[in-house]
Amino acid sequence: MNKRFFVWVVALCSGWFAARSDAQEIVKADNTLPLNDPASWTGGVVPGDSNIAVWDSTVLGANTVTLGGALTWDGLRLANPGGTVTLQGADRLTLDGGAATDLDLSLATQDLVLDLPVTLGGSQAADIAAGRSMTVNGAASIGGLTRKGDGLLHLTGTTTCGNGRYEGGVTLFDGTTTLYGDHVLAGGTAIFRGPVAMTLGSTETLAIYNGTLVLDGAGLTMTNSSSRFFAGRTHTTSDGLLIVSNGTHSIYGYNSGSMANFIGVSGARRGRLHLENGSLSVVYLRLGTNQKGSEEIDELIVNNGLLSVTGSTGTDPISKAFKMGTRFDESTTESATRSSLLAVNGGRFEVPNGTSQVATDVATSTGSQQIRLNGGTWAVKKLAFGSSPTVTRTLAFDGGTLEGTNVLAGSDLIEGASYVTATVRAGGARLASAPGNDFSVTLNLAEDPASPGGGLVKLGSGRLTLGGANTYTGPTVVSNGVLALSGTLAVTNLTVAPGASFSLADGTLSTFAPAALRFGVGGAPAVLELEVAPAGNACDALHVPNGAWIQNMGIALVQQGTRQHILRAGDFPILTYAGTAPAIAGLSWANPVIGFTCAFTLDSVTRTVTAQVRLDPTASPSVWVNPTHGDWAAAANWNAMPASAAGTAVLFSAIPTAATAVTLDTPSRWAAPPSTIRTATRSPARAH
């Protein structure tokens, strides 16, 4: 071939392709004619589906135009026009996804407003320079989106979008939005301000590898049962943050294993979830899972609002509702090495249906697991600490509340309490027992020497038994419900509010001697619950210190080890005192039993107050006072022997503790057998 001819052909072809490439861009003329008018464009040609529409310095000022009809372009590029470019009207603009960057504001000096319906077909790329914005006010249908650049993409209308990848800048979903597939935040900030529904997602339904996702609107709802979120995953550079600042948000994913919701997992630098307001509900939540990727600490911080973890815990250990500093699969051989911080500063974090697990039992696990209750409430059904000897576990109270809810009756709220260091700072500890709950807390609550003076407040209408050796130095206040003491208090400054109860009923008779005491001051009686021995006059006692304030004190006497009402008469020394004698008029019987009376007497010599429990011969009807079987005719079985006459009524009240046989020695006719008597026998004649 002739070399000059070959070179000429190559040059001609190259020139043709260059011309073809240049022809893809059509520049807007400096006018406001509708965009379907050829005169609206510098070359007199309307862009089509193989062209990129361009606004550059040819347009000297702000440019507001209509389409004049539905148009389809390959892309749109904004360069350096003289002002904001606004496309408006009812006609639809379609970008077919063929261009390398379909919405190109990477070098823009002005902003773009699309005030019309938009279809972004195929896989779209939007690149917006720092300081610039693109606002889509009309309904937007987006096949898929890759978001680049440091500027703002603001979607205010109804939006639907397939898979999304967000690499920088700010993407703000401000209207009603439906997101299909997976959405990956790789940088920058995404904000959900309008209602957002996410469907058909899978592993990365809402993946926050880097950057910040803000839930700031009406609500995010994930409707796919296998959907989930994670913040910080896999890569040593991964640093993801989820902020909930407003609205009501729910994630319906149910998988408790590899598809749970994670904050910091598997080699990530860090993961964080901050709840500032509003609410977020998830099924299973994991904080600081698997191996570390740096020395950074994963964070779950609740400043306000409500975080609910609703999952239930079954026989499979993987199904624990909330886990912190563990392996995702509960491996008994592989270590967990991430460090985590749970800080509740306000609001409420609740795990009402399953176990909250902190750290593992694997000896080679490392890291620190810190829990700080500085305000607000952490409500749990069960809190378990793992035993790994090389993991640091701390629980610090500084004005926050640990609440037991739906706790197994009679159980200890905290499993593995000996593996955690629990401290009380100046703001104090608050322990709450939700209505209907009855459980123990066996922590050794120690004073933090760096922040001394904090005390303990018992909240909630349920019953809580405090065990352990407690060395905090502030007051102990029973604000509501029942606080029973089975452990020890180094400093015993006790206040029991009106309507609340303080109990020494732990199965062992003892005397409690507080250094200071306020009991039932300012309202209804506060109750003192004391155990009475099975025989004799021995009982629990309270020593009333000098300067104590007792206004209304109800005395509840129960059988030792049972919490059942007292079943017998006796003289029980319930109070001793120093200083001024307590006013007997302020004492009352808090749990009276029909057929008995209780009076209080004061002995100034022995400085003792005695509860004198007696049979009440005046009670009507006659009351069976034998806790077990017996003869009807035996007077000792009654507070007062019932008359043998028609119309006589008798009462089998709370005293019989089991099925009871009463032997009738004379013929009897019962109009209505007592409901609380299980068996009635007669010898030798038949009752009728």
Residue 56 has pLDDT above 70, yes or no: yes
CA distance 256 to 267: 20
pLDDT band, residue 622 (cuts 50/70/90): confident
pLDDT in the model for residue 290: 97
pLDDT in the model for residue 3: 42
pLDDT in the model for residue 646: 66
Average pLDDT over residues 210-226: 91
pLDDT in the model for residue 681: 40
pLDDT in the model for residue 243: 98
Average pLDDT over residues 337-344: 98
The answer to whether the bond into 684 is cis (omega within 30° of 0) is: yes
Average pLDDT over residues 281-297: 96
Count of CB atoms situated within 10 Å of the CB of 369 = 30
Mean pLDDT of the chain: 91
Nearest to 87 by CA among 46, 137, 154, 129: 137
Residue owning tokens 């609380």: 676
> 179 is written with which tokens?
């997101």
> 109 is written with which tokens?
């000096």
Average pLDDT over residues 587-598: 94
Q: Which residues pair with 250 in a beta bridge?
A: 221, 281
SS3 559: strand
CA distance 119 to 180: 15
549-562 tens-digit pLDDT: 999 999 999 999 99
pLDDT in the model for residue 647: 65
pLDDT band, residue 186 (cuts 50/70/90): very high
- Return the higher-pLDDT residue of 688 and 632: 632
369-383 tens-digit pLDDT: 999 999 999 999 999
Share of the chain above pLDDT 70, in %: 92
Contact of 506 with 484, CB cutoff 8 Å? yes
pLDDT in the model for residue 96: 87
pLDDT in the model for residue 50: 94
Residue 297 has pLDDT above 90, yes or no: yes
Average pLDDT over residues 235-264: 93
Residue 22 has pLDDT above 70, yes or no: no
Contact of 36 with 69, CB cutoff 8 Å? yes
pLDDT band, residue 38 (cuts 50/70/90): very high
CA distance 295 to 337: 10
Nearest to 305 by CA among 347, 250, 272, 274: 347
Residue owning tokens 């260059």: 18
Residue 402 has pLDDT above 60, yes or no: yes
Domain boundaries defined on the chain: 541-614
Element (H, E) at 373: strand 368-373
pLDDT band, residue 231 (cuts 50/70/90): very high
Nearest to 102 by CA among 135, 78, 70: 78
pLDDT in the model for residue 655: 64
Residue 19 has pLDDT above 50, yes or no: no
CA distance 593 to 138: 75
pLDDT band, residue 81 (cuts 50/70/90): very high
Report the DSSP pairing between strands 608-615 and 570-577: antiparallel
Query: In whole angstroms, what separates CA 559 from the centre of its chain?
Result: 39
Q: In what order do the strands lie in the sheet with 541-544?
A: 511-512, 541-544, 570-577, 608-615, 596-603
pLDDT in the model for residue 670: 59
